[in-house]
Amino acid sequence: MTTLDEAHQPAHNVDETEVVKGLEQRGVHGVDSLSLEELELLTERKRKQLHQEAIERKAQLENEIASVGQQIQDLQGRKSELETQLRALAKSMGSAGKSGESTAKRAPRKPKKSAEADVPSIPREQTEG
């Protein structure tokens, strides 16, 4: 009597390389004539291949993530350096830099009514000719 595990394990009397060679010789049409044992061997071989590819892809992704993380750290350091240089430059410019920033943010002032009275108006006839 066999146990459940023994029933699902392929017998080791058929070598995997023999199965592959036989399949290559038979071609695609030979797949129909494969025994259950041969199919199990091919399935296990494919499973191992896919598992190995997944391990390699995982390692590749981990390396890429680490590389991107290092680039981020480098860029953050560079950003910090540039911000320090910018603050030093703004400080050396003194209040001129600060007033320039504040006037750029403010809305332009409306002229006072008394200033409008001091400016002579140009007659229409002179501007049209």
- Domain region containing 85: 1-90
Look over the chain and give the mean of its residue pLDDT values, rounded to a whole number: 75
- The closest of 9, 4, 1 to 36, measured between CA atoms, is 9
Total number of domains in the chain: 1
| pLDDT reported for residue 52 | 97
Residue 44 domain-assigned (yes or no): yes
d(CA 91, CA 96): 10
Q: How far apart are CA 111 and CA 118, in angstroms?
A: 11
Whether residue 112 lies inside any domain: the answer is: no
pLDDT tens figures, 51-78: 999 999 999 999 999 999 999 999 999 9
96 within domain boundaries? no
Residue 109 lies in a domain: no
pTM tops 0.85: no
Structural domain contains residue 95 = no
Residue 20: the pLDDT is 72
Residue 86 belongs to some domain of the structure: yes
Q: What pLDDT shows up at residue 128?
A: 52
N- to C-terminal Cα separation, the chain: 119
| In a domain? residue 62 | yes
- Mean pLDDT over 17-43 rounds to 75
C-alpha 67 chain-centroid distance: 11
Domain for residue 98, yes or no? no
